[in-house]
Amino acid sequence: RLPYKKYTTSIGEEIWVGRSATDNDVLTFKYARKYDLWLHSQQTSGSHVILRRPNKAHQFQKSSIIEAAEIAAFFSTAKKSDTVPVIYTEVKYVRKLRKGRPGQVLADRTKSILVTPRRPKN
């Protein structure tokens, strides 16, 4: 079994969502490419979400980042909140916490977006 669930944005880009804390590690550090976009709900537990870049030069539309952020918010402990802050950065700026539990990471060069949690359509 894959360590993630697969969804797509409305324009066809892939979104991968970690299934568990251990799967989050595998998804982020084994499956994701360094130039993919990593998203996570801010200050809460939740799934690691990867928005896949088809190639290094691909620029995401804001709508795709919002869709992935809404999914990250939905797969977090804040899913019942009206709005959830979600951070995002390229995978190359995410690193494992030394002696951290599965799924615990530090992310640098993050941006933040405020979204409403939304169940993925597909």
Domain ranges of the chain: 4-115
For residue 25, the SS3 value is helix
- What are the angstrom distances between the C-alpha of 48 and each of 57, 107? 23, 12
pLDDT value of position 121: 83
pLDDT value of position 23: 97
pTM, two decimal places: 0.95
pLDDT value of position 97: 86
Rg of the chain taking only CA atoms, in angstroms: 13
10-residue stretch averages of pLDDT, the chain, 122 residues long? 95 96 97 98 96 94 97 97 97 93 92 97 78
**Tokens 């499956």 correspond to what residue?**
31
